[in-house]
Amino acid sequence: MGVFLQSAVSSSRAEKPARQRRILCNYDGGSILYTRKGSQGPVPLTVDDLKQAIREPAHQGSQVDTVLLCVNAQVMFYPTKVGTMLGTLATPQQRKQWPAATRQWCANLKHFADKGIDPWAVMLAEARRLKLEGLLSFRMNDGHDGTHLETRFWREHPEYHCFDPDQGHTLDYGHQEVRDHMFLLIQEAVQRYDCDGIELDFNRFPVLFKAGTSPDRIAKMNAFVRRLRKMLDDEGKKRNRHLVMGVRPPTEDYDVAATYEGSRKVGCDPVAWATNGWIDFLTVSRFLSVTFDLPVAPWKKLITEIPVYGCIEIVEKQTGEALTPRQYRRAARHIWNEKADGIYLFNFFITREGSTEPAFEVLSQLGDPGVVE
């Protein structure tokens, strides 16, 4: 079974019951910075647009308790001192070749930065005002490519690439330097923002190690997660509160949902993380497309210390179209039948990239274990 490293359970977590999270809503760090209600594509944004993005899922009757804001994709979506900000390494000629959405995304981020406005600070403050839990979500090895997503670290260290340079920007966690770099990026964001904690998204993308390397990968990742837990505890003491850490475990195959055995093959042992008190919740998911038979129950049998949530992706793989409200309810019905502790919606607002408004009506339905299709 798992590799268990003994560590004292976080006392701040153990002293009180887990927070209620009926629905957790994940925001893609791209579309939320260049689309808004009724935009029909990329548009300039205002500070009120940023606030409205948080207010929208918090309408009367909504069951959303937690929002997760994705702030990276190898590049960071704010002026970082540790890493590289979105689009800043591209040449003028490369920028001319960007699609309209990318140009607007980078322009909006630069506009806010030039004005001394931090979009994520604005959204976290609005979440706090609305009494929503606000977490930062980190894609632990985003594999998208493009000149707007290149980082200085990736350019300067080809020896750390998981793949050839033209196959995405994933990094090999087998190198201590890669783990250190990611740790510092996360630490910087935690220290920068008044968040309630973080999420480690290992399923975007579900690759951590170069093929055929690092037989001790689980031990390396255990130490990495434990280090992040300590950092959060240290920061939490300064704020006199516990900072939570959730995870989305990786799947071993893009066409199946995450299982414990599959996550271990990739290099992650979430059962050990829960047993040792390093994480506060876990979300079971598939990569990017919905499944109506998500295997939450096996995780619930293995993990009893923390809540386990089931993730609904917004796209139906066969058609490539956004889910209908009925499909959302169908997926949620199964997840609740698997005895999940809540429903997690990944990239809920990204439908606006295709000029389709999110299915807001389901936000007052899916968080009820009695939801019907």
Q: What pLDDT shows up at residue 195?
A: 99
What SS3 class is residue 309? Answer: strand
Please indicate, yes or no, if residue 10 is contained in any of the structural domains: no
Which amino acid, 145? D
Q: What pLDDT shows up at residue 113?
A: 96
- For residue 178, give the nearest of 199, 152, 157 by alpha carbon: 157
Please indicate, yes or no, if residue 102 is contained in any of the structural domains: yes
- Quick one: tokens of 152? 């200085």
Categorize the per-residue pLDDT at 16 as very low, low, confident or very high, splitting at 50, 70 and 90: low
Please indicate, yes or no, if residue 260 is contained in any of the structural domains: yes
Give pLDDT tens digits for 293-351.
999 999 999 999 999 999 999 988 888 889 999 999 999 999 999 999 999 999 999 99
Whether pTM > 0.85 for this model: the answer is: yes
Give pLDDT tens digits for 42-92.
999 999 999 999 999 999 999 999 999 999 999 999 999 999 999 999 999
Q: What pLDDT shows up at residue 17?
A: 64
For residue 11, is pLDDT > 50?
Answer: no
Please indicate, yes or no, if residue 167 is contained in any of the structural domains: yes
Please indicate, yes or no, if residue 227 is contained in any of the structural domains: yes
Please indicate, yes or no, if residue 5 is contained in any of the structural domains: no
Q: What pLDDT shows up at residue 318?
A: 81
Q: What pLDDT shows up at residue 165?
A: 65
The domain total for the chain is: 1
- % of residues, the chain, pLDDT over 70: 93
Tell me how crowded residue 115 is: count the other CB atoms within 10 A of its CB.
9
Instruction: Pick 269 or 15 by higher pLDDT.
Output: 269
- For residue 111, give the nearest of 47, 51, 42 by alpha carbon: 47
For residue 137, is pLDDT > 90?
Answer: yes
Q: 16-20, 119-123, 274-278, 352-356: which range is least confident on average?
A: 16-20
Please indicate, yes or no, if residue 2 is contained in any of the structural domains: no
How far are the Cα atoms of 35, 49, 97, 149, 282 from residue 27, in angstroms, in the given order? 12, 14, 26, 18, 17
For residue 155, is pLDDT > 80?
Answer: yes
- For residue 18, give the nearest of 309, 273, 271, 231 by alpha carbon: 309
Parent domain of 300: 18-181+197-356
CATH number, position 27:
3.20.20
Give pLDDT tens digits for 83-115.
999 999 999 999 999 999 999 999 999 999 999
For residues 139 and 69, the answer to whether their CB atoms sit within 8 Å is: no
Please indicate, yes or no, if residue 186 is contained in any of the structural domains: no
Q: What pLDDT shows up at residue 164?
A: 67
For residues 279 and 245, the answer to whether their CB atoms sit within 8 Å is: yes
φ, ψ for residue 139, nearest 5 deg: -75, 115
- For residue 14, give the nearest of 198, 342, 280 by alpha carbon: 280
